[in-house]
Amino acid sequence: MILKRIFPILIFLLLATSACQPQAVTEAPALDDSLSAALSELQGTVQAKPTDLDEFQAANKDLSIRVGGQVQTGGDGRARLDLSTGTIIRVAPSTLFTLIANEPVDNNLFTKLNIEIGKVFVILNGGSLDVETPSGLASVRGSYLSVEVDENTQNVSVTCLEGDCQITAPDGSIIKFSDGEKCTLFNFDPETGELTAPLLGLMTPEDFLDWYNNNPEAQQLVNQAYAALTAAAQTEEPAPEDPGTSSGSSGSGGGSTACVELQEPGHNASLLNNGTTDFKWTGIPEAASYKITFTFPDGSRLSLITTETSETRYMEAFAASGSYSWTVTALDENGAEICTAAPITFSKPAPDPKKDKPDPEPQETGTEYNEPY
């Protein structure tokens, strides 16, 4: 009888105890450590926010930057960030940037940064990377890229040491460039109140030296790229067989095509030392934009991209006297070359102290390649 009375009580107690047991809690998935950037090689003043919810703190090698995190360097500060893919991002002094995205896309890692001020060097090891700036978007695919935002003007200068780089300007236009080239986005022209056209040209010796001094892992590549560009700059431009006519070369290969025709200034024109000159050419229906290229007396080149069929240049920007040549390449909507006109020449006399005013600091000059290291 006693057992019959106790048994229901035991069953009740067992059920009550079971009901009071804490249920298994499903833990939130751990953050994937592969989607972070590790800090190292810290120099000078470096502060960091590991996430967008944190406050800035003195950076140390134990900190990892995740999506939304920021790194800020002082005037003496430098830092290196290593992504899981092996991509290296080096942060120069006086820089503030944010890690916007760092995620797998199509079996590769896509990374996006935002730079408000300062400069970063990117050595990409697979995947792709975008850098948002106040003046446009710089993109890199398997390349070596640097992006610098001027504190005062917000102008953006992008160098492409090697690989495929491109810039998307505020108006939506895309400028593609590659090994040893540099593109500058001008944010604002106070005289006109408008955005100025991007400037595409060659990296300068100072640009190469900057890469060399700040990226030990890229020094061999810097030497190779610099040597190749120097050799190309020393090669003289061949004289055109039929000045002022189209070369008929097609960017896609296979046959000739009707191309642009250079109009003004004419072949062998003698231009003034000061003031402006209008360079004009005919357009073709297939072209979405045009690349005008100037070859300087020392063999270096400067290229500009425009959607117009003319370009006005200040002659003060052509600092050296002597013989120049210019040509125009038609580009399709993807930036691929359609055809290039045969170059024609013009000359600029040496300045006459009695007639010419002292030249102001030029905006662009032909690059004289002297070995910097």
Residue of 348 and 281 predicted with greater confidence: 281
What is the DSSP code (8-state) at residue 211? H
Lowest mean pLDDT among 81-90, 106-115, 278-287: 106-115
Q: Are 127 and 141 in contact (CB under 8 A)?
A: no
Closest CA to 92 of 217, 213, 220, 201: 213
pLDDT score of 47: 93
Given this model, what pLDDT does residue 247 score?
A: 46
Whole-number Å distance between alpha carbons of 85 and 280: 47
Range from 100-104, 154-158, 327-331, 357-361 that averages highest in pLDDT? 327-331
Non-local (6+) Cβ contacts of 32 within 8 A are: none
Kindly report the CA angle at 202 between 199 and 203, in degrees rounded to 5? Answer: 110
User: Residue 116: pLDDT above 50?
Assistant: yes
- How far apart are the C-alpha atoms of 18 and 54, rounded to whole Å? 42
Higher per-residue confidence, 139 vs 32:
139
Give the number of C-alpha atoms closer than 13 A to the C-alpha of residue 21, restricted to the C-beta side.
7
For residue 118, pLDDT over 60 is answered with yes
Residue 29 banded pLDDT, cuts 50, 70, 90: very low
For the chain, the average pLDDT equals 75
Which pLDDT score is estimated for 105? 62
**Chain-centroid distance, C-alpha 354:** 43
- Map tokens 């940037």 to a residue: 97
Lowest pLDDT segment from 167-181, 243-257, 316-330: 243-257
User: How confident is residue 44, by pLDDT bands cut at 50, 70 and 90?
Assistant: very high
Asked if the 246-348 domain carries CATH number 2.60.40.10, the reply is yes
Please compute the mean of the pLDDT values over residues 289-314 and round it to a whole number: 85
More confident residue, 228 or 323: 323
- Domain spans of the chain, in order of start: 33-233, 246-348
Query: CA 35, 36, 38, 43 torsion: positive or negative?
Result: positive
CB atoms within 10 A of CB 373: 11
CATH number at 33-233 = 2.60.120.1440
Instruction: Lowest mean pLDDT of 29-38, 270-279, 313-322, 323-332, name the range.
Output: 29-38
What's the pLDDT score for residue 45?
93
Residue 255 has a pLDDT of 41
* Residue 195 CB partners (closer than 8 Å, separation 6+): 169, 170, 171, 186, 187, 188, 189
3-state secondary structure of 208: helix
Rounded to an integer, the average pLDDT of 45-65 is 89
Which 3 state secondary structure label does DSSP give 62? coil
Residues in the chain: 373
For helices 219-233 and 205-214, what crossing angle results, to 10°? 170
- pTM assigned to the model: 0.55
pLDDT in tens, 184-238: 887 666 677 666 777 888 888 888 888 988 988 888 888 877 776 666 555 544 4
